[in-house]
Amino acid sequence: MASLLPRRAAACRHRRRLLLLPSPPPGPAAAARRCSGALPAALLRRGGLVGGRWVETAASFPVQDPASGEELGRVADCGPAEAREAVRAAHQAGAAWGCLPAKERSLRLRRWYELMLENKEELARIITAENGKPLKEAQGEILYSASFLEWFAEEARRVYGDVIPASAKDRRILVLKQPVGVAAVITPWNFPSAMITRKVGAALAAGCTVVVKPAEDTPLSALALGELANQAGIPAGVYNVVPCSRQQTPAVGEVLCTDPLVAKISFTGSTATGKILLKHAAGTVKRVSMELGGHAPFIVFDSANVDRAVAGALASKYRNSGQTCVCTNRFLVQKGIHDEFVEKFAKAIERELHVGSGFDAKTTQGPLINEKAVEKVERHISDAVSQGASVVTGGKRHSLGKNFFEPTLLSNVTTKMLCTQEETFGPLAPVIKFDTEAEAVAIANAANVGLAGYFYSQDPAQIWRVAEQLEVGMVGVNEGIISSVESPFGGVKQSGLGREGSKYGIDEYLEIKYVCFGGL
Protein backbone atom coordinates (compact mmCIF):
# COMPACT_ATOMS: atom_id res chain seq x y z
CA MET A 1 0.00 0.00 0.00
CA ALA A 2 2.94 2.39 0.60
CA SER A 3 3.49 2.71 -3.14
CA LEU A 4 -0.02 4.03 -3.52
CA LEU A 5 0.64 6.93 -1.16
CA PRO A 6 2.55 10.08 -2.27
CA ARG A 7 6.12 9.12 -3.05
CA ARG A 8 7.98 11.79 -1.18
CA ALA A 9 9.02 10.38 2.16
CA ALA A 10 8.80 13.75 3.88
CA ALA A 11 5.22 14.21 2.77
CA CYS A 12 4.35 10.71 3.95
CA ARG A 13 5.92 11.34 7.36
CA HIS A 14 4.06 14.63 7.64
CA ARG A 15 0.78 12.89 6.77
CA ARG A 16 1.38 10.24 9.40
CA ARG A 17 1.99 12.96 12.01
CA LEU A 18 -1.29 14.62 11.09
CA LEU A 19 -3.13 11.42 11.86
CA LEU A 20 -1.78 11.04 15.38
CA LEU A 21 -3.71 12.27 18.36
CA PRO A 22 -2.64 15.88 19.07
CA SER A 23 -1.25 16.95 22.40
CA PRO A 24 -4.33 17.26 24.62
CA PRO A 25 -5.23 20.22 26.79
CA PRO A 26 -5.10 19.91 30.59
CA GLY A 27 -7.94 18.16 32.38
CA PRO A 28 -9.17 14.65 33.29
CA ALA A 29 -10.32 13.75 29.78
CA ALA A 30 -7.00 14.90 28.35
CA ALA A 31 -5.09 12.87 30.90
CA ALA A 32 -6.95 9.73 29.82
CA ARG A 33 -6.20 10.50 26.20
CA ARG A 34 -2.50 11.00 26.93
CA CYS A 35 -2.50 7.47 28.31
CA SER A 36 -4.22 6.24 25.17
CA GLY A 37 -1.24 7.02 22.95
CA ALA A 38 -1.31 7.60 19.21
CA LEU A 39 -3.74 6.12 16.74
CA PRO A 40 -2.49 3.15 14.69
CA ALA A 41 -0.73 4.64 11.67
CA ALA A 42 -0.77 1.31 9.81
CA LEU A 43 -4.56 1.52 9.40
CA LEU A 44 -4.99 5.26 8.99
CA ARG A 45 -5.63 6.53 5.48
CA ARG A 46 -6.46 10.06 4.39
CA GLY A 47 -7.38 9.48 0.75
CA GLY A 48 -10.47 8.05 -0.86
CA LEU A 49 -10.31 4.44 -2.04
CA VAL A 50 -11.25 4.20 -5.72
CA GLY A 51 -10.52 1.17 -7.88
CA GLY A 52 -7.98 -0.12 -5.39
CA ARG A 53 -6.03 3.17 -5.34
CA TRP A 54 -5.78 5.72 -2.54
CA VAL A 55 -6.94 8.94 -4.15
CA GLU A 56 -5.96 12.41 -2.94
CA THR A 57 -8.04 15.53 -3.61
CA ALA A 58 -7.19 19.21 -3.77
CA ALA A 59 -9.32 19.91 -0.71
CA SER A 60 -9.48 18.08 2.60
CA PHE A 61 -11.65 18.28 5.71
CA PRO A 62 -10.85 17.77 9.39
CA VAL A 63 -11.80 14.80 11.53
CA GLN A 64 -12.27 15.91 15.10
CA ASP A 65 -12.19 14.26 18.50
CA PRO A 66 -15.68 14.94 19.94
CA ALA A 67 -14.27 14.77 23.48
CA SER A 68 -11.86 17.68 23.03
CA GLY A 69 -12.82 19.21 19.70
CA GLU A 70 -9.23 18.86 18.51
CA GLU A 71 -8.25 17.71 15.06
CA LEU A 72 -7.24 14.07 14.60
CA GLY A 73 -6.22 14.59 10.99
CA ARG A 74 -7.51 15.65 7.59
CA VAL A 75 -9.18 13.43 4.99
CA ALA A 76 -9.64 13.85 1.24
CA ASP A 77 -12.82 15.81 0.49
CA CYS A 78 -14.22 13.81 -2.40
CA GLY A 79 -16.77 15.46 -4.64
CA PRO A 80 -19.08 14.45 -7.50
CA ALA A 81 -16.15 13.68 -9.82
CA GLU A 82 -14.59 11.21 -7.38
CA ALA A 83 -18.02 9.69 -6.68
CA ARG A 84 -18.59 9.08 -10.40
CA GLU A 85 -15.09 7.62 -10.74
CA ALA A 86 -15.80 5.25 -7.84
CA VAL A 87 -19.09 4.17 -9.43
CA ARG A 88 -17.32 3.42 -12.72
CA ALA A 89 -14.62 1.46 -10.88
CA ALA A 90 -17.28 -0.57 -9.06
CA HIS A 91 -19.15 -1.20 -12.31
CA GLN A 92 -16.00 -2.36 -14.10
CA ALA A 93 -15.12 -4.73 -11.26
CA GLY A 94 -18.66 -6.08 -11.01
CA ALA A 95 -18.65 -8.61 -13.82
CA ALA A 96 -15.58 -10.46 -12.60
CA TRP A 97 -16.61 -10.36 -8.93
CA GLY A 98 -20.15 -11.52 -9.67
CA CYS A 99 -18.86 -14.41 -11.76
CA LEU A 100 -16.47 -15.67 -9.09
CA PRO A 101 -17.61 -18.94 -7.55
CA ALA A 102 -19.48 -18.30 -4.32
CA LYS A 103 -16.80 -20.21 -2.46
CA GLU A 104 -14.16 -17.74 -3.67
CA ARG A 105 -16.17 -14.75 -2.51
CA SER A 106 -16.75 -16.53 0.77
CA LEU A 107 -13.02 -17.07 1.33
CA ARG A 108 -12.19 -13.40 0.64
CA LEU A 109 -14.87 -12.23 3.08
CA ARG A 110 -13.67 -14.74 5.64
CA ARG A 111 -10.11 -13.39 5.34
CA TRP A 112 -11.40 -9.83 5.80
CA TYR A 113 -13.18 -10.98 8.96
CA GLU A 114 -9.99 -12.59 10.27
CA LEU A 115 -8.00 -9.41 9.64
CA MET A 116 -10.57 -7.40 11.57
CA LEU A 117 -10.11 -9.69 14.56
CA GLU A 118 -6.33 -9.48 14.27
CA ASN A 119 -6.59 -5.68 14.31
CA LYS A 120 -9.55 -5.33 16.68
CA GLU A 121 -7.75 -3.18 19.26
CA GLU A 122 -6.46 -0.75 16.65
CA LEU A 123 -9.85 -0.50 14.94
CA ALA A 124 -11.56 0.11 18.28
CA ARG A 125 -9.17 2.93 19.11
CA ILE A 126 -10.01 4.63 15.82
CA ILE A 127 -13.72 4.45 16.65
CA THR A 128 -13.24 5.90 20.12
CA ALA A 129 -11.08 8.71 18.77
CA GLU A 130 -13.45 9.86 16.02
CA ASN A 131 -16.80 8.88 17.56
CA GLY A 132 -16.14 9.29 21.29
CA LYS A 133 -17.79 6.09 22.55
CA PRO A 134 -16.09 4.25 25.42
CA LEU A 135 -13.28 1.97 24.30
CA LYS A 136 -15.09 -1.08 25.69
CA GLU A 137 -18.12 -0.27 23.54
CA ALA A 138 -15.86 0.34 20.54
CA GLN A 139 -14.26 -3.06 21.05
CA GLY A 140 -17.73 -4.58 21.16
CA GLU A 141 -18.63 -2.80 17.94
CA ILE A 142 -15.60 -4.23 16.15
CA LEU A 143 -16.55 -7.77 17.16
CA TYR A 144 -20.14 -7.08 16.06
CA SER A 145 -18.92 -5.51 12.83
CA ALA A 146 -16.61 -8.41 12.02
CA SER A 147 -19.38 -10.90 12.70
CA PHE A 148 -21.30 -9.61 9.66
CA LEU A 149 -18.37 -10.45 7.40
CA GLU A 150 -18.20 -13.91 8.96
CA TRP A 151 -21.96 -14.41 8.64
CA PHE A 152 -22.22 -13.31 5.03
CA ALA A 153 -19.09 -15.24 4.09
CA GLU A 154 -21.15 -18.27 5.05
CA GLU A 155 -24.37 -17.00 3.44
CA ALA A 156 -22.57 -16.45 0.11
CA ARG A 157 -22.68 -20.22 -0.45
CA ARG A 158 -26.38 -20.47 0.38
CA VAL A 159 -27.93 -18.34 -2.37
CA TYR A 160 -30.31 -20.94 -3.73
CA GLY A 161 -32.48 -20.80 -6.82
CA ASP A 162 -35.58 -22.91 -7.42
CA VAL A 163 -37.30 -25.30 -9.79
CA ILE A 164 -41.07 -24.89 -10.10
CA PRO A 165 -43.36 -27.57 -11.55
CA ALA A 166 -44.69 -26.33 -14.91
CA SER A 167 -48.26 -26.69 -16.16
CA ALA A 168 -47.00 -27.81 -19.61
CA LYS A 169 -45.11 -31.08 -19.90
CA ASP A 170 -42.60 -29.73 -22.44
CA ARG A 171 -41.44 -26.89 -20.16
CA ARG A 172 -39.31 -26.44 -17.07
CA ILE A 173 -39.51 -23.35 -14.87
CA LEU A 174 -36.27 -22.24 -13.24
CA VAL A 175 -35.61 -19.41 -10.80
CA LEU A 176 -32.15 -17.86 -10.60
CA LYS A 177 -30.83 -15.34 -8.08
CA GLN A 178 -28.28 -12.87 -9.41
CA PRO A 179 -26.48 -9.80 -8.00
CA VAL A 180 -28.27 -6.50 -8.59
CA GLY A 181 -25.03 -4.71 -9.53
CA VAL A 182 -23.32 -1.67 -8.03
CA ALA A 183 -24.60 -0.74 -4.56
CA ALA A 184 -24.16 2.72 -3.07
CA VAL A 185 -23.83 2.44 0.70
CA ILE A 186 -24.37 5.57 2.82
CA THR A 187 -23.64 5.10 6.51
CA PRO A 188 -23.99 7.03 9.82
CA TRP A 189 -21.46 8.10 12.45
CA ASN A 190 -22.90 6.29 15.48
CA PHE A 191 -21.65 2.83 14.41
CA PRO A 192 -18.93 3.77 11.91
CA SER A 193 -17.74 0.19 11.37
CA ALA A 194 -20.74 -2.09 11.95
CA MET A 195 -23.12 -0.13 9.72
CA ILE A 196 -20.66 -0.63 6.86
CA THR A 197 -20.05 -4.36 7.22
CA ARG A 198 -23.74 -5.13 7.78
CA LYS A 199 -24.43 -3.74 4.32
CA VAL A 200 -21.18 -4.46 2.49
CA GLY A 201 -20.91 -8.04 3.76
CA ALA A 202 -24.30 -8.87 2.27
CA ALA A 203 -23.58 -7.01 -0.97
CA LEU A 204 -20.23 -8.66 -1.61
CA ALA A 205 -21.56 -12.09 -0.68
CA ALA A 206 -24.31 -11.66 -3.28
CA GLY A 207 -21.75 -10.72 -5.94
CA CYS A 208 -22.32 -6.94 -5.91
CA THR A 209 -19.65 -4.26 -5.76
CA VAL A 210 -19.98 -1.18 -3.53
CA VAL A 211 -19.25 2.51 -3.16
CA VAL A 212 -19.31 3.56 0.49
CA LYS A 213 -20.01 7.17 1.53
CA PRO A 214 -19.20 7.25 5.27
CA ALA A 215 -20.44 9.93 7.64
CA GLU A 216 -18.29 13.06 7.57
CA ASP A 217 -17.74 12.82 11.34
CA THR A 218 -16.27 9.29 11.22
CA PRO A 219 -14.52 8.49 7.90
CA LEU A 220 -11.40 6.94 9.43
CA SER A 221 -13.14 3.66 10.27
CA ALA A 222 -14.39 3.21 6.70
CA LEU A 223 -10.93 3.87 5.31
CA ALA A 224 -9.32 1.47 7.79
CA LEU A 225 -11.77 -1.22 6.61
CA GLY A 226 -10.64 -0.41 3.07
CA GLU A 227 -7.00 -1.02 3.99
CA LEU A 228 -7.94 -4.41 5.46
CA ALA A 229 -10.11 -5.24 2.43
CA ASN A 230 -7.07 -4.71 0.22
CA GLN A 231 -4.98 -6.94 2.49
CA ALA A 232 -7.72 -9.60 2.40
CA GLY A 233 -7.56 -9.83 -1.38
CA ILE A 234 -10.83 -8.08 -2.14
CA PRO A 235 -10.22 -7.12 -5.80
CA ALA A 236 -9.70 -3.52 -6.85
CA GLY A 237 -13.00 -1.74 -7.43
CA VAL A 238 -15.10 -4.12 -5.37
CA TYR A 239 -14.95 -1.95 -2.20
CA ASN A 240 -14.64 1.79 -2.81
CA VAL A 241 -14.81 4.64 -0.27
CA VAL A 242 -15.56 8.31 -1.02
CA PRO A 243 -15.23 10.37 2.18
CA CYS A 244 -16.49 13.92 1.96
CA SER A 245 -17.24 16.97 4.08
CA ARG A 246 -20.67 18.06 5.20
CA GLN A 247 -20.62 20.67 2.43
CA GLN A 248 -19.97 18.09 -0.30
CA THR A 249 -22.38 15.48 1.08
CA PRO A 250 -25.56 16.60 -0.76
CA ALA A 251 -23.80 16.62 -4.15
CA VAL A 252 -22.06 13.29 -3.58
CA GLY A 253 -25.28 11.73 -2.31
CA GLU A 254 -27.15 12.93 -5.37
CA VAL A 255 -24.55 11.39 -7.70
CA LEU A 256 -24.74 8.04 -5.93
CA CYS A 257 -28.55 8.03 -6.06
CA THR A 258 -28.92 9.16 -9.68
CA ASP A 259 -26.00 7.60 -11.57
CA PRO A 260 -27.51 5.02 -13.95
CA LEU A 261 -24.66 2.58 -13.21
CA VAL A 262 -25.80 2.34 -9.57
CA ALA A 263 -28.48 -0.33 -9.16
CA LYS A 264 -28.99 -0.27 -5.40
CA ILE A 265 -29.02 2.28 -2.56
CA SER A 266 -28.59 1.26 1.07
CA PHE A 267 -28.83 4.06 3.62
CA THR A 268 -28.87 4.33 7.40
CA GLY A 269 -29.71 7.73 8.83
CA SER A 270 -32.53 10.15 9.50
CA THR A 271 -36.00 9.78 8.01
CA ALA A 272 -35.74 13.28 6.51
CA THR A 273 -32.54 12.44 4.63
CA GLY A 274 -33.93 9.06 3.60
CA LYS A 275 -36.87 10.77 1.91
CA ILE A 276 -34.51 12.99 -0.08
CA LEU A 277 -32.49 9.98 -1.24
CA LEU A 278 -35.68 8.13 -2.18
CA LYS A 279 -36.68 11.03 -4.42
CA HIS A 280 -33.29 10.96 -6.13
CA ALA A 281 -33.40 7.18 -6.56
CA ALA A 282 -36.90 7.28 -8.05
CA GLY A 283 -35.65 8.82 -11.28
CA THR A 284 -33.88 5.60 -12.27
CA VAL A 285 -36.08 3.26 -10.19
CA LYS A 286 -33.27 1.87 -8.08
CA ARG A 287 -33.59 -0.84 -5.46
CA VAL A 288 -33.46 0.78 -2.02
CA SER A 289 -32.94 -0.27 1.58
CA MET A 290 -33.60 2.38 4.20
CA GLU A 291 -32.92 2.05 7.93
CA LEU A 292 -34.25 5.34 9.20
CA GLY A 293 -35.20 7.08 12.43
CA GLY A 294 -36.66 5.41 15.49
CA HIS A 295 -38.70 6.51 18.50
CA ALA A 296 -38.59 3.34 20.56
CA PRO A 297 -41.11 2.82 23.38
CA PHE A 298 -40.09 0.86 26.50
CA ILE A 299 -43.19 -0.36 28.36
CA VAL A 300 -43.03 -1.70 31.92
CA PHE A 301 -46.22 -3.45 33.02
CA ASP A 302 -47.26 -4.08 36.62
CA SER A 303 -46.42 -7.77 36.26
CA ALA A 304 -42.79 -7.03 35.30
CA ASN A 305 -39.73 -7.90 37.33
CA VAL A 306 -38.76 -4.33 38.18
CA ASP A 307 -35.07 -5.01 38.79
CA ARG A 308 -34.70 -6.69 35.40
CA ALA A 309 -36.66 -3.88 33.77
CA VAL A 310 -34.30 -1.31 35.27
CA ALA A 311 -31.25 -3.23 34.03
CA GLY A 312 -32.79 -3.48 30.57
CA ALA A 313 -33.70 0.20 30.60
CA LEU A 314 -30.17 1.22 31.50
CA ALA A 315 -28.70 -0.81 28.64
CA SER A 316 -31.32 0.17 26.10
CA LYS A 317 -31.24 3.90 26.83
CA TYR A 318 -27.65 4.80 27.59
CA ARG A 319 -25.59 2.63 25.24
CA ASN A 320 -23.42 4.96 23.12
CA SER A 321 -24.75 7.83 25.28
CA GLY A 322 -28.21 7.32 23.84
CA GLN A 323 -27.01 7.76 20.26
CA THR A 324 -28.42 4.66 18.57
CA CYS A 325 -31.49 4.31 16.37
CA VAL A 326 -32.90 1.56 18.60
CA CYS A 327 -32.31 3.37 21.90
CA THR A 328 -35.40 3.76 24.01
CA ASN A 329 -36.86 7.23 23.54
CA ARG A 330 -40.03 6.92 25.66
CA PHE A 331 -40.51 4.98 28.90
CA LEU A 332 -44.10 4.01 29.66
CA VAL A 333 -44.51 2.63 33.19
CA GLN A 334 -47.77 1.31 34.63
CA LYS A 335 -49.01 3.17 37.68
CA GLY A 336 -48.76 0.21 40.08
CA ILE A 337 -44.94 0.08 39.85
CA HIS A 338 -44.20 3.55 38.47
CA ASP A 339 -42.69 5.07 41.63
CA GLU A 340 -40.59 1.99 42.41
CA PHE A 341 -39.24 1.88 38.85
CA VAL A 342 -38.33 5.58 38.77
CA GLU A 343 -36.57 5.38 42.14
CA LYS A 344 -34.55 2.29 41.20
CA PHE A 345 -33.78 3.63 37.72
CA ALA A 346 -32.43 6.89 39.16
CA LYS A 347 -30.22 5.03 41.63
CA ALA A 348 -28.89 2.77 38.87
CA ILE A 349 -28.05 5.78 36.67
CA GLU A 350 -26.17 7.51 39.48
CA ARG A 351 -24.40 4.31 40.56
CA GLU A 352 -23.44 2.70 37.26
CA LEU A 353 -22.99 5.47 34.67
CA HIS A 354 -19.74 7.43 34.53
CA VAL A 355 -19.17 10.31 32.10
CA GLY A 356 -15.68 10.76 30.69
CA SER A 357 -13.22 10.30 27.87
CA GLY A 358 -13.79 7.12 25.89
CA PHE A 359 -10.18 6.14 26.58
CA ASP A 360 -10.75 6.17 30.36
CA ALA A 361 -11.41 2.61 31.52
CA LYS A 362 -14.09 3.79 33.99
CA THR A 363 -16.14 5.64 31.38
CA THR A 364 -19.55 4.34 30.36
CA GLN A 365 -20.79 7.62 28.82
CA GLY A 366 -18.60 9.39 26.30
CA PRO A 367 -19.31 12.73 24.63
CA LEU A 368 -22.12 13.34 22.20
CA ILE A 369 -20.96 13.61 18.60
CA ASN A 370 -21.12 17.42 18.48
CA GLU A 371 -22.58 20.47 20.19
CA LYS A 372 -25.68 20.43 17.98
CA ALA A 373 -26.58 17.06 19.50
CA VAL A 374 -26.14 18.49 23.00
CA GLU A 375 -28.35 21.44 22.17
CA LYS A 376 -31.15 19.10 21.09
CA VAL A 377 -31.03 17.29 24.43
CA GLU A 378 -31.14 20.63 26.25
CA ARG A 379 -34.09 21.76 24.14
CA HIS A 380 -36.05 18.60 24.95
CA ILE A 381 -35.38 18.94 28.67
CA SER A 382 -36.26 22.63 28.72
CA ASP A 383 -39.53 22.00 26.88
CA ALA A 384 -40.49 19.15 29.21
CA VAL A 385 -39.68 21.06 32.40
CA SER A 386 -41.62 24.08 31.15
CA GLN A 387 -44.68 21.84 30.86
CA GLY A 388 -44.39 20.30 34.32
CA ALA A 389 -41.82 17.49 34.02
CA SER A 390 -39.42 16.91 36.93
CA VAL A 391 -35.68 16.30 36.61
CA VAL A 392 -35.00 13.25 38.80
CA THR A 393 -31.27 13.13 38.03
CA GLY A 394 -28.91 14.85 35.62
CA GLY A 395 -30.37 17.55 33.42
CA LYS A 396 -27.38 19.63 32.34
CA ARG A 397 -24.07 19.67 30.51
CA HIS A 398 -21.19 17.94 32.24
CA SER A 399 -18.19 19.94 33.42
CA LEU A 400 -15.81 17.88 31.22
CA GLY A 401 -16.61 19.85 28.09
CA LYS A 402 -19.20 21.23 25.71
CA ASN A 403 -20.09 17.85 24.15
CA PHE A 404 -20.55 16.01 27.43
CA PHE A 405 -24.00 15.72 29.01
CA GLU A 406 -25.19 14.18 32.24
CA PRO A 407 -27.36 11.04 31.95
CA THR A 408 -30.81 12.43 32.64
CA LEU A 409 -34.09 11.01 33.95
CA LEU A 410 -37.39 12.91 33.78
CA SER A 411 -40.66 12.03 35.53
CA ASN A 412 -44.16 13.51 35.26
CA VAL A 413 -43.79 13.44 31.48
CA THR A 414 -46.78 13.71 29.13
CA THR A 415 -47.27 12.93 25.47
CA LYS A 416 -47.53 16.66 24.70
CA MET A 417 -43.84 17.18 25.41
CA LEU A 418 -41.27 17.36 22.62
CA CYS A 419 -39.16 14.52 24.02
CA THR A 420 -42.08 12.11 23.50
CA GLN A 421 -42.82 13.35 19.99
CA GLU A 422 -39.40 13.18 18.30
CA GLU A 423 -36.20 11.21 18.64
CA THR A 424 -33.76 12.77 21.10
CA PHE A 425 -30.61 10.80 20.20
CA GLY A 426 -28.99 11.55 23.53
CA PRO A 427 -28.83 10.48 27.20
CA LEU A 428 -32.37 11.53 28.14
CA ALA A 429 -34.94 9.11 29.64
CA PRO A 430 -38.50 10.55 29.93
CA VAL A 431 -40.99 8.44 31.94
CA ILE A 432 -44.75 8.50 31.25
CA LYS A 433 -47.18 6.93 33.75
CA PHE A 434 -50.06 4.92 32.25
CA ASP A 435 -53.10 3.02 33.52
CA THR A 436 -54.05 0.25 31.09
CA GLU A 437 -52.41 -2.00 28.52
CA ALA A 438 -54.54 -0.51 25.76
CA GLU A 439 -53.42 2.99 26.70
CA ALA A 440 -49.74 2.00 26.61
CA VAL A 441 -50.04 0.33 23.22
CA ALA A 442 -51.90 3.34 21.82
CA ILE A 443 -49.18 5.73 23.01
CA ALA A 444 -46.45 3.46 21.66
CA ASN A 445 -48.11 3.20 18.24
CA ALA A 446 -48.92 6.91 17.90
CA ALA A 447 -45.53 7.63 16.27
CA ASN A 448 -45.15 7.71 12.49
CA VAL A 449 -41.99 5.61 12.79
CA GLY A 450 -41.59 2.06 14.06
CA LEU A 451 -38.09 0.64 14.32
CA ALA A 452 -37.76 -1.05 17.73
CA GLY A 453 -39.95 -1.44 20.79
CA TYR A 454 -39.44 -3.03 24.20
CA PHE A 455 -41.64 -4.19 27.02
CA TYR A 456 -41.36 -6.05 30.31
CA SER A 457 -44.09 -8.38 31.52
CA GLN A 458 -44.41 -11.80 33.15
CA ASP A 459 -47.94 -12.42 31.86
CA PRO A 460 -47.72 -14.88 28.91
CA ALA A 461 -51.02 -13.82 27.37
CA GLN A 462 -50.06 -10.15 27.63
CA ILE A 463 -46.67 -10.87 26.07
CA TRP A 464 -48.29 -12.37 22.97
CA ARG A 465 -50.84 -9.58 22.68
CA VAL A 466 -48.41 -6.70 22.98
CA ALA A 467 -45.69 -8.27 20.83
CA GLU A 468 -48.21 -8.66 18.00
CA GLN A 469 -49.80 -5.22 18.48
CA LEU A 470 -46.68 -3.04 18.63
CA GLU A 471 -46.17 -1.34 15.25
CA VAL A 472 -42.41 -1.82 15.02
CA GLY A 473 -40.04 -4.01 13.06
CA MET A 474 -38.26 -5.42 16.12
CA VAL A 475 -39.54 -6.22 19.62
CA GLY A 476 -37.56 -6.89 22.76
CA VAL A 477 -39.57 -8.86 25.35
CA ASN A 478 -37.90 -8.67 28.76
CA GLU A 479 -34.72 -7.69 26.92
CA GLY A 480 -33.15 -4.27 26.33
CA ILE A 481 -30.48 -5.22 23.75
CA ILE A 482 -31.84 -7.04 20.71
CA SER A 483 -29.36 -6.60 17.83
CA SER A 484 -27.51 -9.68 16.59
CA VAL A 485 -26.04 -10.85 13.30
CA GLU A 486 -28.58 -13.68 13.04
CA SER A 487 -31.61 -11.39 13.42
CA PRO A 488 -33.34 -9.32 10.71
CA PHE A 489 -32.84 -5.62 11.46
CA GLY A 490 -35.32 -3.07 10.12
CA GLY A 491 -38.47 -1.12 10.74
CA VAL A 492 -41.98 -0.31 9.57
CA LYS A 493 -43.85 2.93 8.85
CA GLN A 494 -41.34 5.73 8.21
CA SER A 495 -38.51 3.81 9.85
CA GLY A 496 -37.51 2.38 6.53
CA LEU A 497 -37.61 -0.34 3.91
CA GLY A 498 -35.97 -3.75 3.83
CA ARG A 499 -34.00 -5.78 6.36
CA GLU A 500 -30.31 -6.12 7.19
CA GLY A 501 -28.39 -8.98 8.75
CA SER A 502 -29.80 -12.51 9.16
CA LYS A 503 -30.56 -14.87 6.28
CA TYR A 504 -32.84 -12.19 4.82
CA GLY A 505 -30.17 -9.51 4.49
CA ILE A 506 -28.56 -10.91 1.36
CA ASP A 507 -31.89 -10.84 -0.50
CA GLU A 508 -31.68 -7.03 -0.60
CA TYR A 509 -28.80 -7.39 -3.09
CA LEU A 510 -30.24 -10.12 -5.31
CA GLU A 511 -32.54 -10.06 -8.32
CA ILE A 512 -34.87 -12.97 -9.05
CA LYS A 513 -34.78 -14.11 -12.66
CA TYR A 514 -37.38 -16.50 -14.08
CA VAL A 515 -36.18 -18.82 -16.87
CA CYS A 516 -38.70 -20.77 -18.96
CA PHE A 517 -36.98 -23.73 -20.62
CA GLY A 518 -39.28 -24.93 -23.40
CA GLY A 519 -39.36 -27.39 -26.29
CA LEU A 520 -38.45 -30.38 -24.16
Three-state DSSP class for residue 8: coil
Indicate if 291 belongs to the active site: yes
Pairing of strands 510-517, 172-179: antiparallel
173, 286, 288, 404 from 275: Cα distances, Å: 38, 14, 11, 31
Active-site residue among 208, 244, 325, 327? 325
Which one-letter amino acid corresponds to residue 87? V
The Cα 251–Cα 170 span in angstroms is 53
The Cα 39–Cα 37 span in angstroms is 7
Residues 6+ apart with CB under 8 A from 317: 298, 327, 328, 331, 427, 429
Q: Contact 363/373 with Cβ under 8 angstroms?
A: no
Active-site residue among 82, 137, 141, 291? 291
Q: Contact 196/214 with Cβ under 8 angstroms?
A: yes
Order of strands, sheet of 262-268, starting from the edge strand that comes earlier in the sequence: 53-55, 48-50, 239-241, 209-213, 182-186, 262-268, 287-291, 496-497
Residues 6+ apart with CB under 8 A from 307: 344
Q: What is the DSSP letter of 397?
A: B
Q: Contact 348/308 with Cβ under 8 angstroms?
A: no
The string of DSSP codes covering 309-338 is: HHHHHHHHHHGGGG-STTSEEEEEEETTTH
Q: Which residues are catalytic?
A: 291, 325
